[in-house]
Structure 1
C-alpha cells in the first residue's frame, strides 16, 4: 500500500522548467546562493565541496554524491566552511553573466587551487511545491555515491542530463526538464529508501493502519470522508485512530484531506477550460462558495486570482523575465 501510494505521488511530479549550470571552481572559493522558487540539486566531479544551510551542520559532498534542496533554501557552496562567501549575484555581475531560462549557465571562478566541477539544476515546480510530499521533505537531502540505495541508473541519468542540458541543442530545454523529472524522482527514491526518521505523512504512510487511511484519502479525495469512516477502514477506534494520525502525520485526518484536495485543485486551475464548479466537485465540494472559502484559506487568494497569478516559466523567459539563479 505504501509503495503504491508513493509511486502515485512521484508520478505527479513534472518540472515546468529547469535552469542548468556548470561551475568550474578552483579553491579557495565560496558563494552564497539566495533562495529560489524551485528545487535545486548539486553534484560534483573532482575535489569535494561543502553545502551549508542555516541552522544545519556543513555537509561535505564527495565526487558522485548528490545534494537536493527540495524547497530551494538559501545556502552557501564552498571549498571549505572557513572561506567567506560572496553573493552569487555579485559573482555573476562581475563576470557579466545574466542567468537565463534559455541558456545553460557556465562560468569559472576561484583562487587557482584544486578544481571542483559542479553541475547544478534548479527545477521549477509550481503547484507541486504545495504537495503533501514536498511538505515533509527536509531542507537538504544528501545522497551519497556509495549508498546501497543508489543504483547505476542514477549516475547514468545524471550524465544524460548533463549532456542534454549543456549541449543546448534544439529542444534541449524540454528534454532537460523531462530528464530532471527522472533524476529528481530517483534522488527521492534513494533518499526514502535509506532514510530512517521519516516525518509527516510519509511516516504515517509506513504505518499499516494509518497508511491505509492515507491511501484512501489520496485515491478518492472527492469522497465525503469522516473520521468515523476512516477509522473503520483502518480497523481502529475513532479516538485511537485520531490520536495516532496526529502523532505520525502532524495534522488531523480531515486537515490532511483538505490540504491534499487544495493541492489537486491548484493543479486543475491551470487548465482554463475547466469550470470552477467542475474543479470543486472533483475534490469533494458540492458548491463553488464552499470550495472558494476553503481554497482562500489554503492559498490566501481566491481560485480565479490564483489561476491568473500562475505564469508559465517559458512565457516569463520570452517576456524578458529572468530566473532566480
Structure 2
C-alpha cells in the first residue's frame, strides 16, 4: 500500500527542466554551493567525496552512492572535511565559462596528479509544484542512498548511467529525454530511501501505520468525496476519537487539515490547464461552489486561483530567483 500511495503522490509530478554537470576534481578541493529551487542529486566515481548541508555534519559519499537534496539546500562538496571551500560562482568565473541553460556544465578543479581524483556528476531537477507537493513536504534535507544498500537494485545504476549519457551527449531531443529519465531516477531514489529508512515523518509516517495508512490512501485517491473525521475513522476501522488522536500523533496535522492541503495541491495542478472551468476544478476536489473553493485556495496559496494560474511560468523560467539572471541560475544549478 505504501508504494501504491507513492505512485499516486508522484503520478502528476513531472520534471519541468533539468540541468546537469560533470566535474573533474583533483584533491584537495571544496566547493560551496548556494541553495537552488530544485531537487539536486550528486554521485561520483573514481574516489569518495564529502557533502555537508548547512547545520549538518559532513557525510562521506562512497563511489557509486547517490545523494539527493529534495529541497536544494545550500551545501559544501569536498575531498575531505576541513578544506576551505571556494564559492561555485567564483570557480565558474575563473574558468571563463559562460553558463548556458541548455548545455551541461563541464568544470575541472585542481591540477591533474596533484591528489586523488573524483569525477562528479550532478543535476538539478526542477519541479514547478515541489513546494506544495505533499510528498516533498515531508522529505528530509538530504537523502543518502548507498550503493551497497540491499534496497538499491541494478536498475537504479542503469537509470543513472542512461541519464548521464543522455544529458552529456546533447543529441537532438536530449532535454526531453533527460527530463523523463530524471523522473524515473527520482522515483527510484525515493523508493530506495523509503525501503531502507528507519523512520519517517509527516504523512509518510502515518502511511506506515496499517489503519491510518488505509485512511490516507483513500483520502488521496478520492479527494472529491465529502470526507468527515467520522467517515475517515470508519475507513481506518477506528473510533473517531482514537483515529483523530492517532492521525495527529503520526501525521502532525488534523485529518481535515491534511485533506484540505491535498485538495489544494491537486487543484493547483489542474489550474495549469486553461481549458478547464473553475467550477469544474472546484467540484473535482470536493467543493460545491466557486466561492468556497476560492476562499480555501486563497488561504492555502496566498492568492486567488486565477492569479495563481497566471503566475505559472514557462518551465525554464519557473526556477529563476528574482535576483538572478538565466546564466547565473544555470551556473548555480549545475554545481
**Category of TM-score, reference length = shorter chain:** over 0.9
Superposed CA deviations along residues 105-151 of structure 1, whole A, max 9, x for unmatched, are 11101253211100011000111331111111100000001000001
Which residue is 2:326 aligned to? Answer: 321
Superposed CA deviations along residues 132-175 of structure 1, whole A, max 9, x for unmatched, are 11111100000001000001111111111111000011100000
Q: Does 1:8 align with 2:8?
A: yes
Q: How far off its partner does 1:243 sit?
A: 0.4
Q: Cα RMSD over matched residues?
A: 1.5
Which residue is 1:193 aligned to? Answer: 195
Aligned residues: 323
Residues 38 and 124 of structure 1 are in contact (CA less than 8 Å); yes or no, is this contact kept in structure 2?
yes
SS at the partner of 2:25?
Answer: strand
Distance in structure 2 (CA, Å) of the matches to 1:101 and 1:259: 33
Distance in structure 2 (CA, Å) of the matches to 1:195 and 1:12: 24
Which residue is 1:215 aligned to? Answer: 217
Residues 128 and 315 of structure 2 are in contact (CA less than 8 Å); yes or no, is this contact kept in structure 1?
no
Q: Flag the 1:315–1:34 CA change in 2: closer, same or farther, 3 A.
A: closer
Which residue is 1:300 aligned to? Answer: 302
Residues 27 and 116 of structure 2 are in contact (CA less than 8 Å); yes or no, is this contact kept in structure 1?
yes
Which residue is 1:270 aligned to? Answer: 272
2:285 to 283, 286, 304: 283
Which residue is 1:227 aligned to? Answer: 229
TM-score normalised per structure 1 = 0.96
Q: Which runs of 5+ in 1 are unaligned?
A: none
Moved more, 22-31 or 107-116: 107-116
TM-score normalised per structure 2 = 0.93
SS at the partner of 2:83?
Answer: coil
Which residue is 1:116 aligned to? Answer: 118
Which residue is 1:76 aligned to? Answer: 76
SS at the partner of 2:326?
Answer: coil
SS at the partner of 1:9?
Answer: helix
SS at the partner of 1:99?
Answer: coil
Residues 213 and 231 of structure 1 are in contact (CA less than 8 Å); yes or no, is this contact kept in structure 2?
yes
Residues 18 and 101 of structure 1 are in contact (CA less than 8 Å); yes or no, is this contact kept in structure 2?
no
Q: How far off its partner does 1:316 sit?
A: 7.0
Distance in structure 1 (CA, Å) of the matches to 2:318 and 2:286: 33
Which residue is 2:37 aligned to? Answer: 37
Q: How far off its partner does 1:202 sit?
A: 0.8
Distance in structure 2 (CA, Å) of the matches to 1:293 and 1:321: 35
SS at the partner of 1:241?
Answer: helix
SS at the partner of 1:76?
Answer: strand
Which residue is 2:164 aligned to? Answer: 162
Residues 312 and 318 of structure 2 are in contact (CA less than 8 Å); yes or no, is this contact kept in structure 1?
no
Distance in structure 1 (CA, Å) of the matches to 2:53 and 2:215: 35
Q: Flag the 1:109–1:304 CA change in 2: closer, same or farther, 3 A.
A: same
Q: How far off its partner does 1:97 sit?
A: 2.1
Which residue is 2:133 aligned to? Answer: 131
Q: Which runs of 5+ in 2 are unaligned?
A: 320-324
Q: Does 1:247 align with 2:252?
A: no
Alignment of 1:148-187 (within 5 A): 148-187=150-189
Moved more, 281-290 or 210-219: 281-290
Superposed CA deviations along residues 302-324 of structure 1, whole A, max 9, x for unmatched, are 2122111111223679xx83434
